[in-house]
Structure 1
């Protein structure tokens, strides 16, 4: 399953590439932009190519970006004393920025498709697609705000309280991502499509995160 492969790849990237990412973040930001550009180029201007096909699978569906967002999410719910938390927390902002850049290709590609649908008329769009479009607009705004404020140069110019308040919108972002996915996957699963297994994986990821988040917050309250 492509989603599980993407999760494995991004988890390995976050852990084994953390030191290089911390020292040379712009190298990875540039690489993410190149992937976006390559995906959009192959999608709109090129014929079939094996490499392009692999790129299309993981970039068109936003799997690489989503998997990296999941890594960023789960870093926040790890125990503060765990080795994994101490290893990944210092690069959480950089990982978030890479994920925000990677999702741009997915957003631009689908935005073009949405614009074509809007030309036909809003009334002609299925309710779930229209709602998904509205959520996509909100997600685009949140990606911009959260991504920009994750840059160190921007963060140090902001008051800590303001920055933390803005970053709390990441919870809204993550929730909307899963709602957005559900608007596509649930109708397809109910109609008999095989995507029900994929929908189940997304549900488990979200439910596990919520449980771990609540658990960690309760532990902090006790202290």
Structure 2
């Protein structure tokens, strides 16, 4: 299962590299940007067809957006889980950096597939299955949502914004995460039997996230209500 493999790799990598990533964030961004360019070259020139199976599996995790999705999942779960342990605090320290890296990897995916599918989407004479057309439209919507989230994840940009404005913009992440799930499900619907396990795994992960997010929202609402009642007493 590609997503599970991606999540395991991401968790190990970010956990091991957290201190270095925080200290040398710009270096990590440059490395991932170089990875973006490398992936574009590899797949645009067909080098993936002559790769050893193991290396192709790893590069496919990036090429197909699995590593980007895995990173986004880690980032979104960090917003709803308890942060009392040393491990969760370690990941939380680089949540912004992980968001930037995820966006860079997502851009790789969209460049590689967009060269064909985005062009075909706007070509009235090009044939595209309904699911592919819907997935392309969702991808373009996701890019439009991702760009402001990506830019405002940089500390220099965040410090120039008012706290309330930054928080309001970051709420765009919630529909972004859900739309990302819808995008994946639309693609999987083209071969549901083949992708049955993947559909189950993605659905369990996202349903669990929604439940935890709603639980957190209810708790915050109750705390605010109790605080307001205490002030009136």
Structure 1-normalised TM-score?
A: 0.91
Q: What displacement does 1:122 show? A: 6.6
Spell out, residue by residue over 1:142-161, the C-alpha distance to the aligned partner (whole angstroms, 9 max, x if none): 22110100000000001111
Q: What displacement does 1:65 show? A: 0.8
Q: What displacement does 1:206 show? A: 0.5
Q: 213-222 vs 7-16, which deviates more? A: 213-222
Written as runs of structure 1 = structure 2, the 5 A alignment for 1:51-66 is 53-66=56-69
Correspondence for 1:77:
80
Contact 2:78 / 2:92 at 8 angstroms: preserved in 1?
Answer: yes
Spell out, residue by residue over 1:149-206, the C-alpha distance to the aligned partner (whole angstroms, 9 max, x if none): 00000000011111111100000110110010111112310xxx32110111111110
Spell out, residue by residue over 1:8-51, the C-alpha distance to the aligned partner (whole angstroms, 9 max, x if none): 01111222221111101112111211221111111012432227
Give the number of aligned pairs: 220
Distance 2:85 2:222 in 1: 19
Contact 1:10 / 1:68 at 8 angstroms: preserved in 2?
Answer: yes
RMSD: 1.8
Distance 1:91 1:163 in 2: 18
Contact 2:80 / 2:212 at 8 angstroms: preserved in 1?
Answer: yes
Written as runs of structure 1 = structure 2, the 5 A alignment for 1:1-223 is 1-47=1-47, 48-50=50-52, 53-118=56-121, 121=124, 124-189=127-192, 193-223=193-223
Compare CA radii of gyration and give the structure with the larger one: 2
Contact 1:39 / 1:55 at 8 angstroms: preserved in 2?
Answer: no
Contact 2:99 / 2:150 at 8 angstroms: preserved in 1?
Answer: yes
Q: 84-93 vs 57-66, which deviates more? A: 84-93
Distance 1:54 1:104 in 2: 19
The 3-state SS of whatever aligns with 1:22 is: helix
Unpaired segments ≥5 residues, structure 2:
224-233
Distance 2:86 2:58 in 1: 33
Unpaired segments ≥5 residues, structure 1:
none
Structure 2-normalised TM-score?
A: 0.88
Distance 1:151 1:101, change over 3 A: same
Distance 1:87 1:52, change over 3 A: closer
Distance 1:156 1:183, change over 3 A: same
The 3-state SS of whatever aligns with 1:206 is: helix
Contact 1:186 / 1:196 at 8 angstroms: preserved in 2?
Answer: no
